[in-house]
Amino acid sequence: MRRTYLDHAATTPVDPEVAAAMARVLREVPGNPSSIYAEGRRARSLVDEAREQVAAAIGADPAEVVFTSGGTEADNLALRGVLAAREGEADGLVVSTIEHHAVLDTAEDLERHGRARVTRIGVGRDGLVDPADVARAIEPRTALVSIMHANNEIGTIEPIAEIGEICRAKGVTFHTDAVQSVGVLPFDVRTLPVDLVSVNAHKFYGPKGVGALYVRSGTRCATVQTGGGQEKGRRTGTENVPGIVALGAAMRIASERRERDARRLSALRDRIVDGVRARIPGAVLTGHPTRRLPNNASFCFPGTQGESLVVALDLEGIAASSGSACTSGSTEPSHVLTAIGLERSVAQGSLRLTVGRGTTDEDVDRLLEVLPRVVARLRAVSEETVTVPS
């Protein structure tokens, strides 16, 4: 069956050029970057080159880039690292209620172990954090504010520039989880007042298992893992050389293509949003109507269940998700949809459609042909109907 992949927020297929670069390292670069002999030096220079590529893409200095195993580790390092560095002098942590679980659960864990006092700030119905709420939440012992750049479920783009200005004015470190946005939205740390930024290769056509944390020079962020001292001790452990090379290549390609991709993706996304609204009665677009990721169209269809939508679409050859890929398998409405104030009965019928480089107009045509039928079918079977249709 022909497949239509509309879950690029979960992960993206690896760019062939990235895959080739990665395969070349696997085949031809056996060395450990920490080794002093030729093989080691070769690996080291490839890691350096990738670091430069990542830095260039976000306007950073290469020394400010720390490679990690992905977005979750970058978020953990940012939160745990900053709070550890400030232990004894500041322990306040401010997060929004719609952060990814990598941030929310880390904050909760720090709180449970008495290492942070966490302030969680809510969002509006469009998913926007009000910078004034951040300003109010900051107090003298606040060590860190962590607000995501763009939400992974509903695509809302947060006002991180304003939030960053507030943090800077108050002398508080600011972290943003930019896993969904880097490679999709313009991102330049020379103009954005951010201190720490999490990125993840597989969201922009790189491989899974590699990411990075940008740490602005001068930011106090302790190490959370001990060992051989790689990454200047900030993230110790032998470097994932093929992954890092791939991350660098993916980042470079994403920068080159970003504007062109964004125009094309937002046109596809708009076709989905308009088409779904025209064809499916009662469809609710979740997230901000305009301040949203160019590739994200997320909805709720009251009278359906997200899990059933995803299964029914998959059987029709369409890959989509009911929200975050990390929480699939649960029929509880997501914390994000709850935070934007959706009724449980509405939030249960959530569907996230995210387009990418491989998405075509034909894919959107197929979706717009199949989805109304699927929603109608699911709506006809309310949970109260107990008889099997004959």
Partner 1 sequence: MSERVFVAMSGGVDSSVAAAILAERGYDVVGVWMRLVDAPAAADAPRCCGTDEAGEDARRAAAHLGIPFYSLDYADVFRRGVVDRFVSAYAHGATPNPCVACNAHVKFEALLRDVIAKFGARRLATGHYARVRQDDGRWHLLRARDAAKDQSYALYMLGQRELGRTLFPIGEMAAKEETRALAMTYGLPNARKAESMDICFVPGDHRDLVRGRAPEAFVPGPIERADGSVIGRHAGVGGLTVGQRRGVGAAAGERLYVLRLDLERNAAVVGTREEVTTRMYALDELCFTRGEAPAARFASTAAVRYRGTPIRCEVEVDGERGVLRLAEPALVAPGQAAVLYDGDEVIGGGTVRQALAA
Handedness of CA 117, 122, 128, 134 (dihedral sign): negative
Catalytic residue (one of 167, 221, 300, 326)? 326
Q: Does 2 bind partner 1 (CB under 8 A)?
A: no
Nearer to partner 1, 154 or 312 (CB): 312
Q: How far apart (Å, rounded) are the C-alpha atoms in residues 14 and 219?
A: 33
Q: Does 315 bind partner 1 (CB under 8 A)?
A: yes
Binding characters for partner 1, 339-378, by CB under 8 A (x = yes):
--------------------------------------xx
Distance of closest approach, residue 321 Cβ to partner 1, in angstroms: 13
Count of positions on this chain that bind partner 1 (CB under 8 A): 20
Distance of closest approach, residue 381 Cβ to partner 1, in angstroms: 4
Nearer to partner 1, 38 or 388 (CB): 388
Of 69-77, 220-228, 239-247, 382-390: span binding partner 1 (CB under 8 A) = 382-390
Question: Which of 293, 244, 230, 225 minimizes the C-alpha distance to 55?
Answer: 244
Q: Residue 22: CB partners within 8 Å, gap ≥ 6?
A: 14, 207, 242, 243, 245, 246, 249
Sheet holding 142-146: strands in order across? 65-68, 211-215, 196-200, 173-177, 142-146, 92-96, 117-121
Q: What is the DSSP letter of 99?
A: S
Residue 31 to residues 232, 238, 243, Cα–Cα distance (Å): 19, 11, 14
Look at the chain and count its residues: 390
User: What residues pair up with 175 in beta bridges, in sequence order?
Assistant: 146, 196
Q: How far apart (Å, rounded) are the C-alpha atoms in residues 276 and 371?
A: 8
Q: Does 387 bind partner 1 (CB under 8 A)?
A: yes
Q: What's the alpha-carbon Rg for the chain, to the nearest Å?
A: 22
Q: Does 390 bind partner 1 (CB under 8 A)?
A: yes
Distance of closest approach, residue 380 Cβ to partner 1, in angstroms: 7
Is 326 a known active-site residue? Answer: yes
Of 30-38, 94-102, 355-363, 380-388: span binding partner 1 (CB under 8 A) = 380-388
Q: Does 330 bind partner 1 (CB under 8 A)?
A: yes
Q: Which residue of 217, 226, 290, 385 would you call a contact of partner 1, by CB under 8 A?
A: 385
Question: Which of 334, 328, 330, 306 minimizes the C-alpha distance to 99?
Answer: 334
Question: Which of 318, 326, 302, 331 minimizes the C-alpha distance to 362?
Answer: 318
Q: Does 388 bind partner 1 (CB under 8 A)?
A: yes
Q: Does 384 bind partner 1 (CB under 8 A)?
A: no
Nearer to partner 1, 217 or 385 (CB): 385
Binders of partner 1 in range 285-314 (CB under 8 A): 307-308, 311-312, 314
The residue with tokens 């991180």 is 160
Nearer to partner 1, 290 or 385 (CB): 385
Active-site amino acid positions: 326
Q: Which residues bind partner 1 (CB under 8 A)?
A: 307-308, 311-312, 314-315, 329-332, 377-378, 380-381, 385-390
